[in-house]
């Protein structure tokens, strides 16, 4: 039984969940790895922070070698943001892997427990990304000024968490549940 048979044999809700988690995972990776969660725009005022973009792991300026690593920061809010970002990132990856196993892998194909684990992890990952997004939006600023802007990585993380929630809901609504494991 091949990939095509596994995909065609899945219910419509599972197929839609697969596509949503695939897109969520793409946005998940981009949000996790890029330095565009937020940036500073001083509108022509000379400042060393103008154009600097912040991501989970680095801060990058507009010069070729203008990146600084941010892991191990002393800012508690930033470390918390990174931690919840990691949990959200890993969660969406694991949910997508479990859905692949549910759809295509022999022993897990149609297994209700794999499906249940997938939608639970979808919700947990989405909550973790949501906490990371809220922390970043609340704390990212320059002394209360309005020069801080939220970037595309921030938006992609929000889209990824929404897609993960929708995929989880569709897996619950699917209703087939699979057979689980049998004692025989």
* Model confidence pTM above 0.75: yes
Q: Is the Cβ–Cβ distance between 91 and 132 less than 8 Å?
A: no
Mean pLDDT of residues grouped by 10 in the chain (184 residues)?
Answer: 72 92 97 88 56 83 74 83 96 96 84 91 97 92 64 94 96 69 47
Q: What is the pLDDT of residue 145?
A: 56
Which are the contacts of 36, defined by CB distance < 8 A and separation ≥ 6? 53, 55, 151, 152, 153, 154
Q: What is the pLDDT of residue 70?
A: 78
Q: Centre a 10 Å sphere on the Cβ of residue 26 and count the other Cβ atoms it contains.
A: 14
3-class secondary structure, 47: coil
Q: What is the pLDDT of residue 184?
A: 44
Q: What is the pLDDT of residue 140?
A: 82
**Angstrom distances, CA of residue 172 to CA of 18, 112, 139:** 13, 11, 35
């Amino acid at each position: 039984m091949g990939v095509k048979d596994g995909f065609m044999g899945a219910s419509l809700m599972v197929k839609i969940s697969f596509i949503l988690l695939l897109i969520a995972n793409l946005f998940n990776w981009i949000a996790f790895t890029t330095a565009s969660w937020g940036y500073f725009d001083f509108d022509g005022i000379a400042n060393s922070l103008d154009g600097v973009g912040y991501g989970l792991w680095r801060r990058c300026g507009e010069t070729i070698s203008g990146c600084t690593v941010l892991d191990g920061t002393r800012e508690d809010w930033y470390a918390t943001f990174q931690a919840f970002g990691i949990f959200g990132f890993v969660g969406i990856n694991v949910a997508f892997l479990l859905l692949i196993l549910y759809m295509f892998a022999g022993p897990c194909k149609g297994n209700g427990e794999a499906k249940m684990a997938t939608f639970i992890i979808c919700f947990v990952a989405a909550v973790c990304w949501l906490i990371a997004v809220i922390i970043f939006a609340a704390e990212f600023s320059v002394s209360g000024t309005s020069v801080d802007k939220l970037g595309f990585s921030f938006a992609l993380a929000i889209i990824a968490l929404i897609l993960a929630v929708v995929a989880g809901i569709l897996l619950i609504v699917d209703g087939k549940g699979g057979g689980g494991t049998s004692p025989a």
